[in-house]
Amino acid sequence: MTTSPPPRRILTVCLGNYCRSPFAARVLADLGGAAVEVRSAGLAAAWQEAHPEMAAVAAVLGYDLTGHRPTRVSRELIEWADLVLAMDQSVLDRLYALAGPDSTTTMRLYLDHDRDVPDPMGRSAVEFAYCALLIEAGAARHLP
């Protein structure tokens, strides 16, 4: 009898855990299935649910953000993860500081070529859609 390897634990992180990281977590979880366990968090999680515009864009793309509750990132969450994906460089810098020099968790930007996922907060519906499409297109590189 063969046992499958444990799921890869992925943590997605943005500023508020309101737009980018909840959507990225949903995409990774849906596409990765049983091979991944995904959570999301923010540096400052002050809202009660996912941003309504991001939830609407997610629904159009076939993803469900209902039930998302923002979570503040912690050292424990970072250590839980095998891989921490930051939505932009400023978030990544803060994660390194929070994790401390002894952390063995792999942390990197979500997009390749050291590109930031632009924060759509306070912008138009088109910017939310663009952000979501970037996140969806970048997901495969993080899945086993």
Delineate the domains of the chain, giving CATH numbers in brackets. Answer: 8-142 (3.40.50.2300)
Query: Is this structure's pTM higher than 0.85?
Result: yes
Residue 1: how many CB atoms within 10 A of its CB?
A: 2
Give 137: exposed, middle or buried? Use CB within 10 Å, 0-12, 13-18, 19+: exposed
β-pairing, 36-42 vs 8-14, is parallel
Q: pLDDT over 90 for what percent of the chain?
A: 86
Q: Which residues are part of the catalytic machinery?
A: 14, 20, 119
Amino acid at 24: A
pLDDT in tens, 47-101: 788 999 999 999 999 999 999 999 999 999 999 999 999 999 999 999 999 999 9
| Per-residue confidence (pLDDT) for residue 48, from 0 to 100 | 81
Determine the Cα–Cα distance for residues 141 and 57; give it in Å rounded to an integer: 22
Is residue 1's pLDDT more than 70?
no
